[in-house]
Amino acid sequence: MNKIPVSETVSYLISRIGKAHRNRANELLSSLNLHAGQELLLQQIYQQQGITLNELTCGMCVSAVTVTRTVERLEKNGFLKKERCSSDQRAVRVYLTEKGVAAVETVEQKMWEVLERETVDNLTTEERMLLKRLLMQVLSNLS
């Protein structure tokens, strides 16, 4: 059985695509003064105002430290507000400001839609469905 070079493996493709995809996301987000990663956090708060940092940590597959610091920066830039939870003084709840809400609603069309269109360009509808199915299996494999 011949070994295929690393450069022709699915893993190598994924690492290249992951980088390119993130780069493009950053380009699209820069006009909103956001960085890749922040938009996911804002979207979570949008779906549940008053969510705690701990709940954010779980929902984003990211470490608690990263959440703490990203929230800190987003608060400094006026996208959200922190508030100590009254029933559990350990927990911190976060709420989007008007600016934060506007940002989330803009990210949808300024980033996700553009990114998706570019990503699946030149693929037929069937190929897109298929790709989605295969990627869901890959994600499941790696989780």
- Binding stretches for a second copy (CB under 8 A): 6, 8-22, 24-25, 36, 43, 61, 108, 112, 115-116, 118-123, 127-128, 130-132, 134-143
Residue 71, CA distances (Å) to 5, 26, 38 in order = 42, 18, 8
Residues 6 or more apart whose Cβ sits within 8 Å of residue 46 = 96, 100, 101, 104
Q: Nearest approach, Cβ of 1 to a second copy (angstroms)? A: 12
- Amino acid letter, residue 10: V
- If residue 51 lies in a helix (H) or strand (E), which one and from where to where? strand 51-52
Q: Does 124 bind DNA (CB under 7 A)?
A: no
115 in contact with DNA (CB under 7 A): no
Question: Residue 1 binds which entry of a second copy, DNA, none, with Cβ cut-offs from 5 to 8 Å by kind?
Answer: none
The option from DNA, a second copy, none interacting with 48 (CB < 5 to 8 A, set by class) reads none
